[in-house]
Amino acid sequence: MTMIFATLLTIITAVSAIDCSAKELKPYNFESIKGVHSYSNLRNTPPSTTNLTWNVGICEPINNVKDCPPNSDICGITTIQLKDEKPVISEIITFNANLEKTYETSDNGVKILYKGANWGDALINAELNFVCDKDASENDFTLDQWDGTNLKLSLKNKAACITSDDDKKKEEKKKPDSGESWGWFTWIFIFLVLFLSIYIVGGAWFQYNKGNAIDFQSALKEVIENFIELLKGLPSFSKEIIEKFTGRSNRGEYSAV
Ligand SMILES: *[C@@H]1O[C@H](CO)[C@@H](O)[C@H](O)[C@H]1NC(C)=O
């Protein structure tokens, strides 16, 4: 079965951004490299310096990169800077997300091909080469070619390896900032605030109903004051507990005997 897979090269065309949920990309794990990845290079081009930066939006179009037109799949920016002067943008090259593209998928990775984007008087092509390498997790592209007509960028990453759904799940768990831990914090915080409000308002209401306070407002004030007293007492209380556990106060007892 895998033999067949290895020799089978699927070629499908699609119109829309590089889309994680595209069925061509389903066997891979592009979700793990979702976002804008780039290649950047600074050259000495006397009397100026030239910065060429290519941005590629994976699984989402580029929308928030400075000077890049919104809804691009690929966006190249060239800036030139003369000594002590502000950089000037000399070239902006884009492959719009709506441009037709071709996916070539194989065991070794995925190639995405763009043909005929307009740039000035020229029609330009691009080839994004995602290379499967189980040990690599490069985040930045390498520039293989740019001659003013043909662009070739490549990225070595295990995201371009055929991945089972189980492995994808494991991958997601490994990601340090996958929303999960944040979710935890947020929930605990929300519950704390919720319980605190119930405690204070409920306590005040109770005091007021019992007739211990003239009006609800002063009952509320009283409960809050009590609560603050409680908080003030907390440090010495926890200190006591910690001393119990670390046995510091025990030693004290022994020496007293
Ligand atoms: C080139 O410009 C980009 C975008 O402004 C910037 O992020 C990058 O650091 C620059 N590269 C170098 C090598 O200065």
- Nearest-CA residue for atom 1 of ligand 1: 51
- Whole-angstrom Cα distance, residue 234 to residue 132? 56
Interval 66-76: pLDDT, tens: 999 999 999 99
Whether the per-residue pLDDT at 59 is higher than 80: the answer is yes
Whether the per-residue pLDDT at 89 is higher than 90: the answer is yes
Residues with CB under 6 A from ligand 1: 40, 42, 51, 53
Q: Which residues contact 138 (CB under 8 A, 6 or more apart)?
A: 155, 156, 157
138 in the same domain as 70: yes
Kindly indicate the confidence band of residue 13, based on its pLDDT and cuts at 50, 70 and 90: low
228 in the same domain as 153: no
DSSP for the chain, please give it: -HHHHHH--EEEEE-SS--TTSTTTTTS-GGGG-EEEEEEEEEEETTEEEEEEEEEEESS-B-SSTTPPSSEEEEEEEEEEETTS--EEEEEEEEETTS-EEEEEETTEEEEEEEEEEETTEEEEEEEEEEE-TT-B--S-EEEEESSSEEEEEEEEGGGS---HHHHHHHHHH-TTSTHHHHHHHHHHHHHHHHHHHHHHHHHHHHHHHT-SSSHHHHHHHHHHHHHHHHHHHHHHHHHHHHHHHTHHHHHHHHH-
- Nearest-CA residue for atom 12 of ligand 1: 42
Whether the per-residue pLDDT at 206 is higher than 50: the answer is yes
Whether the per-residue pLDDT at 255 is higher than 70: the answer is no
- Whole-angstrom Cα distance, residue 35 to residue 13? 22
Percent of the chain with pLDDT over 90: 52
- Nearest-CA residue for atom 13 of ligand 1: 42
- CA of 158 from ligand 1 middle (Å) equals 26
- CA of 187 from ligand 1 middle (Å) equals 39
133 in the same domain as 190: no
160 in the same domain as 131: yes
User: Tokens 């069925």 — which residue?
Assistant: 23
- Whole-angstrom Cα distance, residue 58 to residue 19? 7
Closest CA to 132 of 99, 104, 101, 165: 104
What Å distances lie between residue 220 and 141, 164, 190, CA to CA? 61, 58, 21
Residue 1 maps to a domain: no
- CA of 88 from ligand 1 middle (Å) equals 13
| CA atoms within 13 A of residue 15's CA, in its CB half-sphere | 3
207 in the same domain as 127: no
pLDDT number for residue 94? 96
pLDDT number for residue 204? 84
Whether the per-residue pLDDT at 105 is higher than 70: the answer is yes
Kindly indicate the confidence band of residue 177, based on its pLDDT and cuts at 50, 70 and 90: low
User: Tokens 């979702």 — which residue?
Assistant: 34
194 in the same domain as 143: no
- Whole-angstrom Cα distance, residue 131 to residue 108? 6
Kindly indicate the confidence band of residue 2, based on its pLDDT and cuts at 50, 70 and 90: very low
117 in the same domain as 69: yes
Task: Tell me which residue range forms the domain holding 154.
Answer: 12-168
- Token pair of 180 as six digits: 């999960």
- Whole-angstrom Cα distance, residue 182 to residue 174? 14
For the domain that residue 32 is a member of, what is the CATH number?
A: 2.70.130.10
Residue 117 maps to a domain: yes
72 in the same domain as 198: no
